[in-house]
Amino acid sequence: MNLKRTLCALLLLAPALGRAAAPSLLVTNALLVTMDPAGREPVRGFLAADGAGRIVAIGPGAPPASLQADWTFDAGGKWVLPGFLSGHSHLTQSAFRGIAAGQELLGWIKVLSGHSKGGYIPGDLYAFALHGAIDYLRHGITTCYNYTSRGPTMSEEQYDEQFFAELDSSQRFVFGLSLPGAKGPAAMHEAFDRFVAVSQPYRADPHFLKLSLAKSGLMSHGGETSIDTEAEIALQHGLDIQMHYLEPKIDEEAQRAAFPKIVASGALKAGVMYAHFIHTDDEIVKVSAAAGARMIWNPLSNGRLASGLADIPKYQAAGIKVGMGIDGQASADMSDPFENMRMGLYQTRMAHESAQVMQPYDVLRLHTLGTAEALGVEKDVGSLTVGKYADFVVVDPGAMDTGPVFDPYATLVFACSIANVDWVFVGGQPVVHRGEPLKLNSPRLDLEVKARVAALTQRLNAAPK
């Protein structure tokens, strides 16, 4: 048994979701906040999922007597909404919260990358990524784009640990494959082919939604040399590309100057998702929108790193699809979509000096269906609709009490927090209750991560200076 599976056996309390036939589910007595464009108004009703974890019926009132399921979950009048999505995430950063508190992006990267110089050992990246995925689930994030970490001393087997951690986490994911850009085109093609062979046996796993490319390096910081090869691979295999672009203000001129290289590479034809996309200009927005580019908004991370505020209303008016992301837990620190929505909404209203520019419904849509559309996985997740996976969060606005409800969307976005998340379901199965994972020995994992970070720091301090 390899080390990854050994660690998994120690941590899992039950088989991961999707490994065996699941019972069908009937949810009753729920306030359904579906985020389905066909039904904006929340309704009190029911939801049913089949054994494959997909929604087969949803509607107002009591379920018809003919609708049978293996088990019934009485929501007790609580609110049921789609699981949140994070369209840009670095799950292994869950082990490094609070670092570089006074640094902006480039200084923060220097501090974070300094930790890896201690040398990861087998099992580190698996534990760190699993910790990050479980942390997301605890906060109601049921799907994420994992923009994976690749270091110069990392073996391919160590890199793969991030993929297996996601498979074992119960979270649904898009895997952002990072290629070794610094090693040249041949090494990048080889790394791609090797990972496809490793991941191919798991393509039928319902948690592995999609493979994408996660751009190696920042444009203007080593990323220019790899973009041609990444675009070539993406176009050849029908993949899209997510890239950090136009994030720090200090680098904005160099980043803008790199845009013609992005266009010339063919990356826009493959399909680009910009992560951050803050310090742009009208021409970049126009060309990107015409090409169908998308962007992922990360308010918590952008605020923490003083990167600036993306002009979301401007991008939407231009026709760019927008999703939301938590980013890594070393830059957002908390994985709370409620805080992320509030931060983004309030910042946008302040910048425009208007309360009409963005509403609670708008930002909730961005963190659910909007992100699913930006990632290209809206057929499976993002709203509570027949045919999609039964991934949902049960919110109790009475614990902690949020008071009388005048507008459910306003209560969710303005007043709710992780304290109000009662249950989290993935594929019609409960995976978290009141912050406690049900499929994993969380205290053991927490201790494992702390011990591995302590050992990594010790190796770093002992390394020759």
Q: What is the pLDDT of residues 178-187, one digit of tens each?
A: 999 989 999 9
Rounded Cα–Cα distance for residues 55 and 53 (Å)? 7
For 38-57, the pLDDT digits (tens) are 989 999 999 999 999 999 99
Shortest CA distance to 444 belongs to which of 62, 225, 154, 131?
A: 131
- Supply 454's token pair: 């302590």
Q: Once rounded to an integer, what is the mean pLDDT over residues 427-450?
A: 95
CATH of region 86-375: 3.20.20.140
For 413-433, the pLDDT digits (tens) are 999 999 999 999 999 999 999
Q: Once rounded to an integer, what is the mean pLDDT over residues 26-36?
A: 98
Domain ranges of the chain: 25-83+383-437, 86-375
Distances (CA, A) of 75 to 80, 240, 361, 366, 423: 8, 39, 22, 25, 10
Q: In degrees, to the nearest 5, what angle opens at C-alpha 326 toward C-alphas 253 and 330?
A: 80
Q: Which CATH class is domain 25-83+383-437?
A: mainly beta
Q: Please enumerate in sequence order all residues whose Cβ is within 8 A of that of 51, keeping only pairs 6 or more positions apart, or say none.
A: 21, 22, 23, 24, 70
Task: Give me the pLDDT at residue 12, please.
Answer: 53
For 86-136, the pLDDT digits (tens) are 999 999 999 999 999 999 999 999 999 888 887 899 999 999 999 999 999
Rounded Cα–Cα distance for residues 62 and 42 (Å)? 15
- Supply 168's token pair: 């074992």
Rounded Cα–Cα distance for residues 10 and 331 (Å)? 29
Q: Please enumerate in sequence order all residues whose Cβ is within 8 A of that of 339, keeping only pairs 6 or more positions apart, or say none.
A: 300, 417
Q: Once rounded to an integer, what is the mean pLDDT over residues 59-85?
A: 96
Is the entire prediction scored with pTM above 0.85?
Answer: yes
